[in-house]
Amino acid sequence: MKIAPKKRVQLAVAAGSAVLALLGATGCSAVNEQATTIEYAASDGIVERVGPVLLRNVLIITSDEGEPGTLLGTLFNESDSPVQVTIDGENENSQITIEAEGKYVFEDEVDDDGTLQGISEIPGSLVDLEFTVNSENETFRVPVLDGTLEEYREFVPGGFTPEPSPSEDAVEGAAEEEH
């Protein structure tokens, strides 16, 4: 049985249309990067790597410029041997040993390895910290935050005292005028 030339053209057009429709429905993912494959900091701190050590959600909590700051975040050692990590800030440094395939969580440590003296920037800015792992070193701009967010209040050195908002001042002033 022979197919007429007109039928072949119709079948070819139908098949081509089906292929184009299929490509049109899935073509975006063929040329665009998938959002689920993009690494990003899902919280307030940085996400970086120095040699075999992963830095996750690293940030500094302080009350104000020139005041001590608390270093928060987690360091993961992906190597099969312990590593020495040195963190150099503007005014001091801190040394930490992370066991093989272990982690170091600043928030869980009771000693003051995570306290940096005299943070030179105001909350909301970035401070350069140099991380050295074995012989590799990198400098990263680490966010400086204060205790405005409730989850960070317990880490403000010396405690957190919220400043009254302008509306609170106005209410207090109005209450004083009535008396």
pTM: 0.68
What string of pLDDT tens digits covers the 179 residues of the chain? 565 667 777 777 777 777 777 666 665 666 677 777 776 666 789 999 999 999 999 999 998 888 888 899 999 999 999 999 999 987 778 889 999 999 999 988 755 556 677 777 888 999 999 999 988 999 999 999 998 888 888 888 877 666 666 665 555 665 566 65
Would residue 71 count as lying in a domain? Answer: yes
Q: Is residue 98 part of a domain?
A: yes
Give 18's contacts (C-beta < 8 A, 6+ positions apart). Answer: none
Q: How many domains does the chain have?
A: 1
Q: What are phi and psi of 29, to 5 degrees?
A: -75, -15
Distance of alpha carbon 142 from the chain centroid = 9
Task: List the structure tokens of 154.
Answer: 């317990």
**5 is a domain residue:** no
CATH number for the domain harbouring residue 101: 2.60.40.1890
Burial status of residue 76 (CB atoms within 10 A of its CB: 0-12, 13-18, 19 or more) = middle
151 lies in a domain?
yes
